[in-house]
Amino acid sequence: MERPACRRQPHEARASGQKRIVIVASLTWSLVCFRLDLLKAMVLAGHEVTALAPDDDRGAIATLERIGVRFEKIPMARTGTNPLADLRTFVALYRRMRRLAPDIVLAYTMKPIIYGGLAARLAGIRQRFALFTGFGFLFGEGLQGFRVTVIRRLSIKLYRASLVGTAAAFAYNDADAAEIRRHAMVSPQTPLIMLPGSGVDLKRFASSEPRPGPPVFLLVARLLREKGIAEFAAAARLLKREFPHARFQILGPFDPSPLVITKAELDAWVEEGVVEYLGETRNVAPFLEASTVFVLPSYYREGIPRSALEAMAAGRPIVTTDAPGCRETVIDGENGFRVAPRNVEALAKAMRAFLEDEALAAPMGARSRKLAEERFDVHLVNQTLLGALGLNPENG
């Protein structure tokens, strides 16, 4: 059931310079996990912020309310393709846009960009912004066939329709920016601004040297096949034969996507002794601290994976693929290694380096932390984003 909200008039009196901002998300927890510092900065600057998302996550909603962000629940099936459900999403968003009459709308991830953008456009909101955080399956390799081709073409057309007149769009990596331009999702005149991911809170993830003891390789991700989880298990199997003391851990939730790793698969790997499954958590910091090397063999179309940024901030070397989004987190040979996607032997070789030379992890982890400080500090990322939205103090 939706929460009651006060009806607001588009031109009611507001403090000088105050903006009314609506943020549209596909997952309530993501507002806290990925956008909390951004939302805090908006509220502290005196703006009125409302977040729209589909799930009734009481903990996340309470956190938003503590920092002064209003929350309203909207209907949205994050991974579904039912047109009637999506129509319901669009209608709900249009009604919110008409009632809230925001000055600025910022939508991120696919359905919020498409349906939030269309709703805001039809509601006459001029300052509309789209934040592309990665294309997932849309341009990924995991799903092929006629149905996927149809979904891809339809999605591109919907992006184009929703982004007509958009003030600016944001992308996390060059490959995504190229797809946006190649498929004309935004007009050539629309600014396409690059951001180094969502950024990471360097204070929350304090850097530390790996603990002594058997090397621990940690993969943190939703249990999607395209995240390279099966390749991680296969590489672990190879290395366990020669280095039985090494530990290979998986941390993350199952997912409703058709590309999910099944519980039966995961249970079989655990029973074989190949990997340890740690379940899921909303606080990865202690798991990173207990690890030696962070591994993400993804061929999913990442923007820039937040899990890798958190591992960098924690001072861990990174083993990942040379895929869009992942490659941005590693200078090969300096703070980790990049390998070809889906290449189990190359992945095992990269991890083997830390088993053959256990002293390698500390200096590479220190380099990761330095890169996080230079490139991925969440406050630097948000400064760029707020400036583009016209919300920096000097912009009023």
Domain ranges of the chain: 20-199+377-395, 216-375
Q: How far apart are CA 2 and CA 76, in angstroms?
A: 13
Nearest to 89 by CA among 118, 130, 121, 60: 118
Distance set, CA 135 to CA 86, 221, 274 (Å):
18, 16, 31
* Amino acid in the structure at residue 44: L
Which residues lie closer than 8 Å to 80 by C-beta, 6 or more apart?
A: 86
Nearest to 219 by CA among 85, 126, 351, 71: 351
Predicted model pTM: 0.89
Own/partner contacts of 254-257, CB < 8 Å, gap of 24 or more, are 254/222, 254/223, 255/79, 255/222, 255/223, 255/224, 256/78, 256/79, 257/79, 257/137, 257/222, 257/224
Secondary structure of 55-75 in the HEC alphabet?
A: CCCHHHHHHHHHCCCEEEECC
* Amino acid in the structure at residue 79: T
Element (H, E) at 378: helix 378-389
Position 3 scores a pLDDT of 40
Contact in structure between 300 and 142 (CB atoms under 8 Å): yes
Domains 20-199+377-395 and 216-375 share a fold: yes
Q: How far apart are CA 313 and CA 262, in angstroms?
A: 31
Nearest to 94 by CA among 162, 170, 188: 162
Q: How far apart are CA 365 and CA 363, in angstroms?
A: 5
pLDDT tens per residue across all 396 residues of the chain: 334 343 444 445 456 678 999 999 999 999 999 999 999 999 999 999 999 999 999 999 999 999 999 999 999 987 767 889 999 999 999 999 999 999 999 999 999 999 999 999 999 999 999 999 988 766 665 556 667 778 888 999 999 999 999 999 999 999 999 999 999 999 999 999 999 999 999 999 989 999 888 999 999 999 999 999 999 999 999 999 999 999 999 999 988 777 789 999 999 999 999 999 999 999 999 999 999 999 999 998 889 999 999 999 999 999 999 999 999 999 999 999 999 999 999 999 999 999 999 999 999 999 999 999 999 999 999 999 999 999 975 544
Record: fold of 20-199+377-395? Rossmann fold (3.40.50)
Q: Express each pLDDT in 157-214 by its tens digit.
A: 999 999 999 999 999 999 999 999 999 999 999 999 999 999 999 999 989 999 888 9
Which superfamily, per CATH, for 216-375?
Glycogen Phosphorylase B; (3.40.50.2000)
